[in-house]
Amino acid sequence: MELLIMINACKIASSSRVTAVIPCFPYARQDKKDKGFFDIAVDNLYAEPAVLQWIKEHIPEWKNCIIVSPDAGGAKRVTSIADRLNVDFALIHKERKKANEVDRMVLVGDVKDRVAILVDDMADTCGTICHAADKLIDAGAVKVYAILTHGIFSGPAISRINSAPFEAVVVTNTIPQEEKMKACPKIQVIDISMILAEAIRRTHNGESVSYLFSHVPL
């Protein structure tokens, strides 16, 4: 609502064009059924180039890593990253046996003696990724990292991460993380301000934004 009011104020003040830059679009979660559709130009920015850069710079053994999706829905995301790093991928899916029985997590892929990197679009209470980390360690992974685009970290998330076997939980700063980092030393942040700045510059100058889908601006 604040955004709508600000856009309206700009229009009333005779602006020729209004561009909204939204680092985290909160009502676009996969579990929200009534998403609706845009009838204006929308560019979706991707964290993937920044994630690839972070992996290469901060994980010395990245050539022996395996990219893991904590659920079947993220398979496309992890295969894209695995392809660009030229490494293997795996996924975890929940197998429901019968009604009233707890889901069983099944790992598809071989992580033994590998560095496992869990990749997901967002983490809220972190139950899924923490269970996934335990599963990977049980399956023989030597280290486990989690890389998440949006770190919401509500409820028991911080205590779960502190107790889980992660080397690091890496998030972008689409949501401010300073307070969470004080409570959890495992949380590290990828700064995406340059991606947003370059997107604004390109949009304003009428240049293509698609360059940012595969490159990190310097």
Q: Are 7 and 109 in contact (CB under 8 A)?
A: no
DSSP string, 110-164: --TTSEEEEEEEEESS-HHHHHHHHHHHHTT-SEEEEEEEEE---TTHHHHHHHS
> What are the φ/ψ torsions at residue 40 (nearest 5 degrees)?
-125, 170
The partner residues of 122 in beta bridges, in order of sequence, read: 150
Q: What is the mean pLDDT of the chain?
A: 91
- Amino acid found at 49: P
Higher-confidence residue of 99 and 60: namely 60
pLDDT tens profile 78-90: 999 999 999 999 9
State the helix-helix crossing angle for 48-58 and 75-85, rounded to 10 degrees.
Answer: 50
What residue spans of the chain are helical by DSSP H? 2-12, 48-58, 75-85, 127-138, 157-163, 178-183, 193-204
- Residue ranges of domains in the chain, CATH in brackets: 47-191 (3.40.50.2020)
* CA–CA dist 51, 93 (Å, integer): 23
Tokens of 207: 């240049």
Split at pLDDT 50, 70, 90, the class of 96 is low
24 by DSSP, 3-state: which? coil
State the DSSP code for 215. Answer: -
Residue 40 is predicted with a pLDDT of 87
> Residue 93, class by beta-carbon neighbours within 10 Å (0-12 exposed, 13-18 middle, 19+ buried)?
middle
Residue 19 is predicted with a pLDDT of 92
94 by DSSP, 3-state: which? strand
Split at pLDDT 50, 70, 90, the class of 30 is low
* CA–CA dist 200, 167 (Å, integer): 34
* CA–CA dist 92, 81 (Å, integer): 16
Residue 172 confidence (pLDDT) above 90 = yes
Residue 25 is predicted with a pLDDT of 87
Residue 180 confidence (pLDDT) above 70 = yes
Q: Sort residue 62 into left (φ over 0), alpha (ψ -120 to 50) or beta.
A: alpha
pLDDT tens profile 99-151: 555 578 899 999 999 999 999 999 999 999 999 999 999 999 999 999 999 99
> What are the φ/ψ torsions at residue 178 (nearest 5 degrees)?
-55, -45
Residue 217 is predicted with a pLDDT of 87
Q: Are 49 and 210 in contact (CB under 8 A)?
A: no
Residue 59 is predicted with a pLDDT of 97
Residue 80: CA count within 13 A, CB half-sphere: 14
Split at pLDDT 50, 70, 90, the class of 181 is very high
